[in-house]
Amino acid sequence: MSIRSQLLKGILDGCVLAIIEKEEIYGYELSQKLQQYGLKDISEGTIYPVLLRLQKSQWIVGTMRPSDSGPNRKYYSLTKEGKENLDLIRNEWDLLSSPITKILRGDEDAING
C-alpha cells in the first residue's frame, strides 16, 4: 500500500461523511466529488469498503431508488449518529492537523516554551 493511501485510510471515512452531509449521493458521484477536491490518486473503488463500514456502524443509510436518468441507484444519507460522529472527527482533525503540519515541516519556532 502506498504511503498516501495509508495516511488517508483513517481520515477517508470523515471525508466521505462530510460529502454525504451536504447532499444525498450515490457511489459514482461520491468518487467524482473526492477527485474534484483533489484526491486524484486514490482508486475510486476504495470508497466501497468505506461505505460498507459506515453503514455497518449505522452512520449512513443507503436507499435504492430510481435516479433522474432512469436506473435504480443506492443513495446515501447521514444518520443522526453519523452527524454526531462527523462533528467529533472535525474537532479531532482541527486539534491534530496544525501541530502535525508544524512537526512535519520541522518548524521549531512553534514549540511553546
Partner 1 sequence: MQLTVKELIEHNNEKRKNLTSENSEYYQNLLVYIRTNALKSERATEEVLLEMLDHLLEAQREGKSAEDVFGKTPKELAEEIIETLPKESFKSKLDFILEIGFMLFGWYLVITGIPPFISQEEQTVYLGTLLLSGFLLIGSITTLMFLVFGFLKSTAFKDKSKKNKVNWLLVILFVLFFIGGIGANVMLEPFGPSFTVSYILPFGLGCFFLLAAYLFKKSRESK
Residues engaged in binding partner 1 (CB under 8 A): 1, 26-28, 31, 43-46, 48-49, 51-53, 56, 62, 64-65, 71-74
The answer to whether 74 and 63 are in contact (CB under 8 A) is yes
In whole angstroms, the minimum distance from the beta carbon of 99 to partner 1 comes to 30
Nearer to partner 1, 30 or 78 (CB): 30
Nearer to partner 1, 47 or 86 (CB): 47
In whole angstroms, the minimum distance from the beta carbon of 101 to partner 1 comes to 28
Nearer to partner 1, 58 or 97 (CB): 58
Nearer to partner 1, 65 or 90 (CB): 65
Backbone angles phi, psi at 6, to 5 degrees: -65, -45
Q: For residue 17, what is the enclosing H or E element? A: helix 3-22
DSSP 44: G
In whole angstroms, the minimum distance from the beta carbon of 97 to partner 1 comes to 26
Residue 30's nearest CA partner among 19, 45, 40 is: 19
In whole angstroms, the minimum distance from the beta carbon of 50 to partner 1 comes to 8
Backbone angles phi, psi at 77, to 5 degrees: -140, 160
Backbone angles phi, psi at 71, to 5 degrees: -65, 160
